[in-house]
Chain A
Amino acid sequence: MGQADADDVVTLTDVRKTYDLGGTVQALGGVSLSLPRGSYTAVMGPSGSGKSTLLNLVGGLDTPSEGRVTVGGRDLSTATEAERAAIRGSRVGFVFQTFNLMPRLTAVENVAMPLVFDGWDRSRRRERARELLSEVGLGNRLDHKPTELSGGQRQRVAIARALAPDPELILADEPTGNVDTETGERIMGLLGDLHADGHTILLVTHERRIAERAERIVHVRDGVVERTEELID
């Protein structure tokens, strides 16, 4: 683990993240991890153990205090702000626990938004968004605003949005945290399909049952990787 492999979509090398709030809070204390192309990894650990921090670093939303994060071979620590934005927009799809949809935009517009920043033209954006929404079973909710959708529907819009630029890497932070069990199943089913289609998936959860859908589970505690569990299935 840790050494760069040409076929690793993501590598983390001794990544540390500390927050300075008078005293220093260490969120991550030296994490090395690599995600092979097409792999499905779950990160488990107690609350506050650094799971979200890890995910945000991989997605280029945050920068490490020390260590290296590479995504698709690109070292994020030397990337400019605009380059990191481009990586977030085209190589990575985020799915959040709280959905994080734009409240004033319709489902189609939300899904099409990454494509705006990725420079797609308008008609192609809409076409792609409609397609993806149909794929997640929301073909009949295209012009609904997030407030007009149920929690599970919102999460499916968010997944469609994450898929819009056809990223190789899907990052999901507790995607089932705010939906009921049945809807959670449906979301997990979608992630499974994406994995089957060849996407690399990094999933954060604290539920063993959810984590078991992955190929391996990385256990995190107090900002360090405690152990990695390979699941044979």
Chain B
Amino acid sequence: MDPRESFTIAARSIRSHKLRSALTVIGVVIGIASVVAFATFGASVESEIVGSISDSGANNVYVLGQPADEEGFEQALQPVFTEYDIARLSEIPGVEAVIPRGSIPANSVTHRGETVSIQGATATTPAAVTNETLVAGRSFRSGADETVLNRAAAETTFEGNVTVGDEITVRRTDETWNLTVVGVVNGTAGELPVGNFGPQPQFYVPADPYYQAVVESPGANARQRAYPQLTVVAVPAETLAVTERVETYLREESDARHLAPSGVDLVARTSGDFAEQISDVIQQITRFVTGIAVIALVVGAIGIANIMLVSVTERTREIGIMKAVGARNRDVMELFLLEATLLGAVGAVLGLPLGLAVGWAATRYAEVGFAFAPYWSALAVLVGVLVGVVAGLYPAWRAARVDPIDALRYE
């Protein structure tokens, strides 16, 4: 039949039960909005994190132990990369520097009589502090009682700012270090890209003499410092090749392959790899949460099906009349299906902006940039329409099968 007339009739029947239709549409709106909101928020977080990873050291190759399964997480943090490994890695063609990193547990730091508790200090080599990262001062020297602070530590940890030349005291369980602040940095070279969000106060100290994790190096046949993580800084153009060479070394010649506990894989990752891994994880979470939101959508669909069944029953007589004046089963089917689809479509069209607004508010709250997810938004509208169609199928089929004789007798 004339599509415009079908539309008019369907729209009129929706309008004639305003409250009922509105409540049904709200069900779909909530479903679509939650799907869109979660998907948008997920996409925003993903692009924020991936963006900030890609910004940092594209030519860094991060060498670390990775647990083969969840259990091995603690073991993966064990110091397995020895100074022998560092020396060998530095010789690989295309490698500019190898920066080790290890953490030293500490209890507190005192500056001008003010003491704050800390998790620990980070041990690394002077090469970690480069001209690009320095805000003030210079890098520490190996073997000296010197420290470099990041801006969070220098500016927000103590009442007064810590400036170059100040003395700080680090207390550990069994010893106390008096250190001279020689530099303030904004991040360090070779820092793992995942640590960049919401900068924590960091106190960098020279591994020599403060880092004391020592193991027996099979390669050097001597006791040496060993670190849980290294960053190989590659010549930019050779980052990929270097990554492969580093992996080969780790697999075939390194001390670490002997020292790593079973269940830990030694890997070399670029920041691109990290970005990929993290976006995989976020996408999985987003899919899962969005999947839960889909339940709301299913409830919305049930609402449509329910109201359409009521409508078919109420309008049995009208269906009979339409059939008596020439409506075919498929005309009746079409009308009811269109009505259900309209409910779904209106829900989708209203739910989309609401979902985007909620998603946007969530990104403001979480302080990440808003990323529109066009794929999800288009899908949401499509799904809304589809929800209407699917929810309307059975009621419409029931309507089409109404026997005109029974219907006209129906009071």
* Cα–Cα distance between A189 and B323 once the two chains are bound (Å): 27
- A231: interface (CB < 8 Å): no
Binary contact track B304-327/A, C-beta < 8 Å → 1, others 0? 000000000000011011111111
Tell me the complex Cα distance, A165–B324, Å. Answer: 13
Nearest-Cβ distance from residue B103 to partner chain A, whole angstroms: 75
Q: Is A96 an interface residue (CB 8 A)?
A: yes
Say yes or no for A50: interface residue by CB 8 A criterion. Answer: no
Question: Given contacts A62-B405, A100-B408, A103-B318, are A94 and B4 in contact (CB under 8 A)?
Answer: no
Residues from chain A with a CB closer than 8 A to the CB of B408 are 61, 96, 98, 100
CB-nearest residue of chain B to A164: B325
**A116 CA to B323 CA, complexed, in Å:** 12
Chain A residues with CB under 8 A of B2: 116, 119, 121-122
Contacts of B321 in A (CB 8 A): 100-102
Which of B12, B326, B408: most chain A CB closer than 10 A? B326
Complexed CA–CA distance, A58 and B320 (Å): 16
The B contact surface, by secondary structure, is helix
Q: How far is the CB of A210 from chain B (nearest CB, A)?
A: 21
Bound-state CA distance A116–B325 (Å) is 10
- Given that A62-B405, A96-B408, A121-B2 are contacting pairs, would A102 and B318 also be in contact in the complex, using a CB cutoff of 8 Å? yes
Given contacts A61-B405, A102-B318, A122-B4, contact A117 B325 (CB under 8 A): yes
B324 surroundings in chain A (CB, below 8 A): 59, 61, 88, 94, 100
Assess A86 versus B326: contact at CB under 8 Å? Given A104-B12, A116-B2: yes
B185 → A minimal CB distance (Å): 75
Q: Size of chain A's interface in residues, with CB distance under 8 A? A: 29
Known: A100-B321, A100-B324, A101-B321. A81 touches B404 (CB 8 A): no
Chain B residues with CB under 8 A of A89: 325-327
Interface status of B74 (Cβ within 8 A of chain A): no
Q: How far is A62 from B324 in the complex, measured between Cα atoms in Å?
A: 10
A-B contact count (CB 8 A): 70
CA distance A86 to B327 in the complex (A): 8
Given A94-B324, A104-B16, A114-B325, list of 9 further CB < 8 A pairs? A59-B324, A62-B404, A85-B323, A85-B326, A100-B317, A104-B12, A104-B13, A113-B325, A121-B2
28 pairs, A vs B, C-beta closer than 8 Å: A56-B405, A61-B408, A81-B329, A82-B329, A85-B326, A85-B327, A85-B328, A85-B329, A88-B324, A88-B325, A88-B326, A94-B325, A98-B408, A100-B324, A102-B318, A102-B322, A103-B318, A104-B13, A113-B322, A113-B325, A114-B325, A114-B326, A116-B1, A116-B2, A117-B325, A117-B326, A119-B2, A121-B2
Query: Would you list the 8 A-B pairs with minimal beta carbon distance, nearest first?
Result: A89-B326, A117-B326, A114-B325, A85-B328, A82-B328, A100-B321, A61-B404, A116-B5
* Interface, chain A (partner B; CB < 8 A): 56, 59, 61-62, 81-82, 85-86, 88-90, 94, 96, 98, 100-104, 113-114, 116-119, 121-122, 161, 165
Q: Which residues of B contact A (CB under 8 A)?
A: 1-2, 4-5, 12-13, 16, 317-318, 320-331, 404-405, 408
